[in-house]
């Protein structure tokens, strides 16, 4: 005897179901399956309201789901890619089932497939149990995050779609989705932005507070200092008691044996305790030279996702988003000019836009394509090998120390600014042939003796300070790309 599903539903569900039937003009139970298929977008809308999930999660996981088929009691949903498939299956099966039941009064099994995947002949339930993390220790919030780097400000394009999906999966389900998550891609393509987004999301959405983001440089320097100050135990306690550890630019531990040894033990301790580890690098694990085999293989245990250079549309979208966030009114032909000429590095893309803005203020001219061409004439030199400019060095060093390029050029003399400024002076001398006078002029109209003094100071500190040496090495690689 067929079940009277309407009878089984709660009063609220009955209302929702009635509403659903009215809107879709459903005649009876028999046709409901087909109607769901035809009106999936309506169903998604209802799902969106019933599921208490963030906008970004809905957009990433649920908005692009397509009903591929309905077999008896099983709805077959087509997902975008392997990552989405596995993740939605684990994380969203149950909520989708519940929401669907609320709307239709019927409990469906779900089956997820990839585009072009053969449809299953019979359905199997993928219902899972979502474990809610109930850690509630907000005593020690350990992080070092840029508030601008969130999922909301991250533009998703073909170049970073998988890495973004993997990052969001890990953020929503730390230590359950993929562990470790290894994100790699060229310089300035958004690895740090994604890592900070994960950390922000976890801190805001999960009750996990021991989230630590560090660059591998900071990890190395802290290790060097702990050895020097005989505080190795403290160092270990700090790194081995974290819930989510994010290590940026891991390639810089290549060739550093003691750091690798220490990181190996940190990794093992956290992994065994089911803590989430997220690592970024400019290249895949197999291409990191002089990386110990045992680390390399561990990096490949979870999921490895890459970020490629953005295509033209994504570059346009990034610039438009930036203008929107900062409330800037930039003519479309200027955005197009920048997006068509700066292709391989998003930091440079943003730097170019900043340069146009600064130039427009300086010369009191409106932002037009002509002004943009003037402002970027040093940067956009077709058919020539790219020169290292003082502006670029300033930008990389400023970003590295969490400052703006304007801070470096300013007259401020606090140590947090004066020290990176001296590093800019040192690197400008080391990496370019530009005269002291011209370096001084570009760096906020400073005298050539100031440049010499700043640069010499860093030179002599380098002999004593292993941490500074490590930082200079990393900055040099970031600037020269070698
Ligand atoms: N998809 C994106 N959407 C919006 N902004 C982005 C995106 N990707 C990168 N950016 C911006 O580009 C700049 C450089 O990105 P980020 O520092 O994350 O690069 P990275 O890959 O970590 O570089 P590095 O190799 O030097 O460590 C940042 O200001 C970041 O906000």
Distance 471 CA to ligand 1 centre (A): 19
Q: Tell me, yes or no, whether 36 and 59 share the same domain.
A: yes
- 180 prior amide bond cis, ω within 30: yes
Atom of ligand 1 nearest to the CA of 148: 31
Q: Which of 354, 380, 406 is the last residue of a domain?
A: 380
Report the sign of the C-alpha dihedral through residues 263, 266, 271, 275, in that order: negative
Is residue 374 in some structural domain?
Answer: yes
CATH number, domain of 212, equals: 3.40.50.300
CA–CA distances in Å: residue 211 to residues 281, 313, 343, 420: 19, 34, 33, 27
What global pTM score does this model have?
0.69
- Ligand 1 centroid–CA 464 distance in Å is 33
Phi, psi of 195 (to 5 degrees): -65, -45
Instruction: Based on the fold, state whether residues 201 and 63 are members of the same structural domain.
Output: no
Indicate if 160 and 282 belong to the same structural domain: yes
> CB of 151 closer than 6 A to ligand 1?
no
Q: Is residue 146 part of a domain?
A: no
* Helix ranges (DSSP H) in 326-433: 332-341, 346-363, 369-375, 390-400, 405-409, 415-431
**Residues of the binding site for ATP:** 188, 190-192
Q: Is 150 in the pocket of ligand 1 (CB under 6 A)?
A: no
pLDDT per position as a tens digit, 319-362? 999 999 888 889 999 999 999 998 888 988 998 998 899 888 88
The predicted model gives 377-384 an average pLDDT of: 67
The pLDDT confidence band at residue 413, using thresholds 50, 70 and 90, is confident
Q: Are residues 268 and 407 in the same domain?
A: no
Residues 299 and 274 in one domain: yes
Regarding whether 364 and 229 lie in a shared domain, the answer is no
Phi, psi at 380, each rounded to 5°: -100, 95
Domain end position, chosen among 327, 356, 380: 380
In a domain, 356, yes or no: yes
> In sequence order, what DSSP letters do the residues of 78-137 get, joined into one string?
E-SSHHHHHHHHHHHHHHHHHHHHHHHS---EEEEE-TTPPPPSS-------PPPP----
Q: Band the pLDDT of 472: cuts 50, 70, 90.
A: very high
3: pLDDT strictly greater than 60:
no
Residue nearest to atom 25 of ligand 1 (CA): 187
Residue 434 confidence (pLDDT) above 70: yes
| pLDDT band, residue 133 (cuts 50/70/90) | very low
CATH number at residue 63: 3.30.300.180
Q: What is the CATH number of the domain that holds 405?
A: 1.10.1750.10
Indicate if 323 and 401 belong to the same structural domain: no
Is 122 a domain residue? no
Please compute the mean of the pLDDT values over residues 108-129 and round it to a whole number: 60
**pLDDT computed for residue 120 by the predictor:** 59
Q: Is 67 helix (H, G, I), strand (E, B) or coil?
A: strand
CA of 394 to the centre of ligand 1 (A): 16
Residues 475 and 396 both lie in one domain: yes
Q: What is the CATH number of the domain that holds 321?
A: 1.10.8.60
Question: Is the model's pLDDT at 279 over the cut of 80?
Answer: yes
C-beta neighbour count of 254 within 10 angstroms: 17
Which alpha helices (DSSP H) does 246-386 contain, by range? 257-272, 293-299, 312-325, 332-341, 346-363, 369-375
Q: What is the CA(187)–ligand 1 centre distance, in A? A: 8
Counting ligand 1 atoms within 8 A of each CB, the residue from 151, 193, 280 with the most, and so the one to mutate, is 193
* Residue 120 forms part of a structural domain: no
| Mean pLDDT for the stretch of residues 128-134 | 29
Query: Does 480 have pLDDT greater than 80?
Result: yes
> What atom of ligand 1 comes closest to residue 156's alpha carbon?
1
- Å from CA of 348 to ligand 1 middle: 10
Give the CA angle between residues 141, 144, 147 to the nearest 5°.
Answer: 100
Assess whether the C-beta atom of 215 lies below 6 angstroms from ligand 1.
no
Q: How far apart are CA 448 and CA 460, in angstroms?
A: 18
478 CB under 6 A from ligand 1?
Answer: yes
Same domain, residue pair 397 and 250:
no
Mean pLDDT of 236-263: 92
Residue at 351 is within a domain: yes
Per-residue pLDDT, averaged over 17-43, amounts to 51
Q: Are 439 and 406 in contact (CB under 8 A)?
A: no
Domain end call among 113, 137, 165: 113
Please tell me whether residues 77 and 31 are part of one structural domain. yes
Pocket flag, ligand 1, residue 193 (CB < 6 Å): yes
Q: What is the mean pLDDT of residues 143-166?
A: 91
Same domain? For 291 and 332 the reply is no
Tell which wins on pLDDT, 234 or 107.
Answer: 234
In a domain, 431, yes or no: yes
Classify the complex by whether its ipTM is higher than 0.95, answering yes or no: yes
Task: Find tokens 């970003």 and name the residue.
Answer: 399
Bridge partner list, 276: 244
- Select from 366, 342, 344, 343 the least CA-distant residue to 356: 366
Q: Strand, helix or coil at 158? A: coil
Which residue CA neighbors atom 8 of ligand 1 most closely? 190
Establish whether residue 26 lines the binding site of ligand 1, counting it when its CB lies within 6 angstroms of any ligand atom.
Answer: no
**Ligand 1 contact, 348 CB (< 6 A):** no
Q: What are phi and psi of 304, to 5 degrees?
A: -110, 125
Q: Which domain holds residue 215?
A: 151-306
pLDDT at 141: 36
Alpha helix positions (H), 149-231? 161-172, 191-205, 216-228
Q: How many residues does the chain have?
A: 482
How many domains would you assign to the chain?
4
From ligand 1's centre to the CA of 14, what distance in Å? 48
**Ligand 1 center–CA 149 separation, angstroms:** 9
With respect to residue 128, please indicate whether it lies within any of the assigned structural domains.
Answer: no
Is residue 443 located within the same domain as residue 463?
A: yes
Is the minimum distance from the CB of 172 to ligand 1 under 6 angstroms? no
Q: Is 395 helix (H, G, I), strand (E, B) or coil?
A: helix
């Amino acid at each position: 005897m067929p079940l009277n599903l309407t009878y089984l539903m709660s009063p609220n569900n009955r209302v929702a179901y009635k509403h659903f039937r009215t809107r879709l003009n459903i005649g009876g139970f028999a046709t409901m399956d087909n109607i769901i298929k035809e009106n999936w977008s309506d169903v998604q809308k209802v799902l969106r309201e019933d599921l208490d999930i963030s906008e970004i999660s809905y957009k990433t996981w649920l908005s692009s789901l397509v009903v591929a088929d309905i077999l008896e009691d099983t709805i077959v949903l087509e997902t975008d890619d392997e990552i989405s498939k596995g993740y939605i299956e684990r994380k969203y099966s149950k909520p989708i089932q519940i929401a669907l039941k609320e709307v239709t009064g019927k409990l469906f099994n779900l089956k997820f497939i990839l585009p072009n995947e053969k449809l299953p002949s019979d359905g199997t339930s993928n219902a899972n149990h979502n474990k809610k993390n109930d850690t509630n220790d907000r005593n020690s919030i350990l992080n070092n995050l840029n508030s601008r780097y969130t999922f909301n400000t991250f533009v998703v394009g073909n170049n970073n779609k998988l890495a973004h999906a993997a990052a969001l999966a890990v953020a929503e389900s730390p230590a359950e989705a993929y562990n470790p998550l290894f994100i790699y891609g060229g310089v300035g393509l958004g690895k740090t932005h994604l890592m900070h987004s994960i950390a922000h999301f976890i801190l805001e959405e999960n009750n996990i507070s021991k989230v630590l983001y560090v660059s591998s440089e900071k990890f190395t320097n802290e290790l060097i200092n702990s050895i020097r100050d005989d505080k190795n135990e403290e160092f270990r306690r700090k790194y081995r008691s974290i819930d989510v550890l994010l290590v940026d630019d891991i390639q810089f531990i290549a060739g550093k044996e003691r750091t690798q040894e220490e990181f190996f033990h940190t990794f093992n301790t956290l992994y065994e305790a089911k803590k989430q580890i997220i690592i970024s690098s400019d290249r895949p694990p197999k291409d990191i030279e002089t990386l110990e085999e045992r680390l390399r293989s561990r990096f490949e245990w979870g999921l490895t996702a890459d970020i490629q250079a953005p295509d033209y549309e994504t570059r346009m979208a990034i610039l438009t988003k930036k203008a929107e966030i900062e409330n800037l009114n930039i003519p479309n032909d200027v955005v197009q000019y920048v997006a068509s000429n700066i292709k391989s590095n998003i930091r440079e893309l943003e730097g170019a836009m900043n340069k146009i803005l600064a130039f427009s203020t300086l010369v009191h001219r409106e932002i037009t394509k002509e002004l943009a061409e003037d402002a970027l004439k040093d940067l956009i030199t077709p058919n020539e090998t790219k020169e290292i400019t003082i502006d670029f060095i300033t930008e990389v060093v400023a970003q590295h120390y969490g400052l703006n390029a304007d801070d470096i050029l300013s007259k401020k003399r606090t140590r947090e600014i004066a020290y990176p400024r001296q590093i800019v002076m040192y690197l400008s001398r080391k990496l370019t042939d530009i005269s002291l006078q011209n370096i001084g002029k570009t760096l906020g109209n400073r005298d050539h003796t100031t440049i010499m003094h700043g640069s010499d100071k860093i030179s002599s500190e380098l002999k004593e300070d292993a941490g500074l040496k490590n930082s200079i090495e990393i900055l040099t690689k970031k600037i020269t790309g070698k």
